[in-house]
Amino acid sequence: MESFNWPAEHSEALRQYMAQGMSYSAAADAINKKFHTAYTRNAAISRGKRMGLTSANRPHEPPMRLSRTVKPGASRLRSWRADELALPWPPCKPAKRVKLRCVGVKPRLLALVDLEAGDCRYPYGGDKDGEAITFCGHPCLPGVSYCAAHFHLTRGDGTASERAAAPIVLRLVAVA
C-alpha cells in the first residue's frame, strides 16, 4: 500500500500508537491488524516523519554494540593488537615536496590558452601558492601530448605491459 495515501483514521492511529511509545514496526503491525492493510515499517516511518512524530522511547544516542565472545586461545593472540588499536593515531605530517626530474629541454613556458595543437603539455610551476602553471610548448611526438624528452620522463622504459611484467629468467640446459 502506498504510504502517501494514508486515510485520516490510519494517520490518527499511527499518532496514538507512537504516543503510547510503540516502535514504528509495532505501530505498522497494529495498524495492519486493525484496518486489514499492508503497511511496512518503512511506510510507517515515512508517514510519521511527514506528520512530525517521534518515538518517545527511542534513545537519542547510538545503540551500544554487543561485544563478541572471544575464544580462549584467541584472547592471548589478539591482546597485543587491542593495546595497539587503543592508542591514538599519530598526527599526520605534511609530505615534503618532491623535486621533479629534469630533462635537457629549455621549456617555452606557455600559458594553457597560448598552447596550440601539437605543443607539449608538460606542466611547469604551480609549486608555490599563487605561482602560475606554464607548459613546455615544444613540438609533440605523434599521438602523444608530450615532446620526446618529456614523454620518456613520464613513461619510463618500455610499454605499460612491459613495465608491469616481472623479469623472465631463462636457464639453458644441455641436451643429453
The structural domains of the chain, with segments of one domain joined by +, span: 3-51, 112-164
Residue of 156 and 95 predicted with greater confidence: 95
Q: How far apart are CA 114 and CA 155, in angstroms?
A: 25
- Can you give the pLDDT at residue 96? 77
In the predicted structure, residue 54 carries a pLDDT above the cut 80: no
- Can you give the pLDDT at residue 1? 43
Q: How far apart are CA 8 and CA 14, in angstroms?
A: 10
Which residues contact residue 119 at a Cβ distance below 8 angstroms, ignoring those fewer than 6 apart? 110, 135, 136, 137, 138, 139, 140
Per-residue pLDDT tens for 87-112? Answer: 566 677 777 776 666 667 788 889 99
pTM: 0.34
In the predicted structure, residue 41 carries a pLDDT above the cut 90: yes
In the predicted structure, residue 119 carries a pLDDT above the cut 90: yes
In the predicted structure, residue 173 carries a pLDDT above the cut 70: no
Per-residue pLDDT tens for 120-140? Answer: 999 988 878 888 899 999 999
Q: How far apart are CA 40 and CA 14, in angstroms?
A: 12
